[in-house]
Amino acid sequence: MNILVRATNWVGDAVMSVPAVCAIRDLHPGSRITVLARPWVAELYSRENFADQVLLCEDRGMRARLHLASELRAQRFDCAIMLPNSFDAALVAWMARIPRRIGYDRDARRFLLTDPIPVPVPGSIPPHQRFYYLELLRRAGFLATLSECPEIRLHADPAAGRELFRSFGLRADRVIGVSPGAAFGSAKRWLPERFAEAASTLGVENDAEVALFGAASEAELCAAIARSIGPRAHNLAARTSLTQFLDLASACFAFLTNDSGAMHIASAAGVPTVAVFGATDHAATGPSAPLARIVRTPVECSPCLLRECPIDHRCMTRVETATVVAEARQLVALSVHGHPHQDH
């Protein structure tokens, strides 16, 4: 078969959908699998062995959609699997005249799909988002059962990450990664001063440097935290590509983060990762690796799933620095003594 997989649009969702794309490859080892992805997530698939080809999804505006559909039609796909729920994802596959078009029956796109799959009823599958994508395959006949899938792993190059750290002026053998931003909104963000306190404490204890990561919109946030930490901190916000970030994260000996795409990448790279959760659902979008811990303080309004907190941000203000530091210490010890961090 010649299979097209329309990738999800955001980094965190893309990481959580990796088990589904791996399952397609495992079930159809002789098939040609093409991943169609937005430019900002396409690099995530470049090193993975489940894709024969990665195409950029440029479909903003009708002219771009027509051009993309023409390109896809020329490749004569037998089947398209739409992982995102959007109308546009199904529209382009329909315009490309792909004979079988599979996706969840959402966003008024039923008439565009040959296989409109009913959306799972809450509680009918495990809560983590990766099962949402796997269930799509099961209901479409690609999987026999929805068994517990292993941890999500991504191929990374820690040696390349250490070399990159050196090029940025870091010592590279002992780096704590920190990602204090979150694209969804400020409700997901732990307090910047507590990120600074936690990273500084761990840095002093381990004679480590601190690398702050973020998008261009988070550069000032990272700069402020770096100033608070002092000379051992380095602001790398908006200075790396996605592939470079994956390598850099894999070279860290610990990673502190909010619920974000960076969290999913660090966790999937096998790095001891501490993630602070508040507004979002930790059961649905938390990291799935054994060397990852979720820190949260249960409050009556969490998870609210709001972008901005309408009250006092209690889900985050009640998460203490000492708790995050303690979890990081335990994970680092486990990494060293129980699950050695290996290059992969």
Q: What percent of the chain has pLDDT over 70?
A: 96
Averaged pLDDT, 165-179: 96
pLDDT digits (tens, 9 = 90+) for 174-218: 999 999 998 878 899 999 999 999 999 999 999 999 999 999 999
Residues 91 and 162 in one domain: no
Is 150 inside any structural domain? no
Give the contacts of 243 (CB within 8 A, at least 6 positions apart).
43, 46, 47
Residues 116 and 166 in one domain: no
Mean pLDDT (the chain, rounded): 93
For residue 306, with 0-12 CB atoms within 10 Å meaning exposed, 13-18 middle and 19 or more buried, which class applies?
Answer: middle
State which H helix or E strand residue 336 sits in: helix 321-337
**pLDDT value at position 243?**
95
Assessment of whether the complete model's pTM goes beyond 0.85: yes
**pLDDT value at position 342?**
42
CB 217 within 8 A of CB 185: no
Residues 128 and 174 in one domain: no
Is 343 inside any structural domain? no
Is 211 inside any structural domain? yes
Q: Using pLDDT thresholds of 50, 70 and 90, give the confidence band for residue 335.
A: confident
CB 176 within 8 A of CB 210: yes
Domain that holds residue 81: 2-139
Q: Using pLDDT thresholds of 50, 70 and 90, give the confidence band for residue 148.
A: low
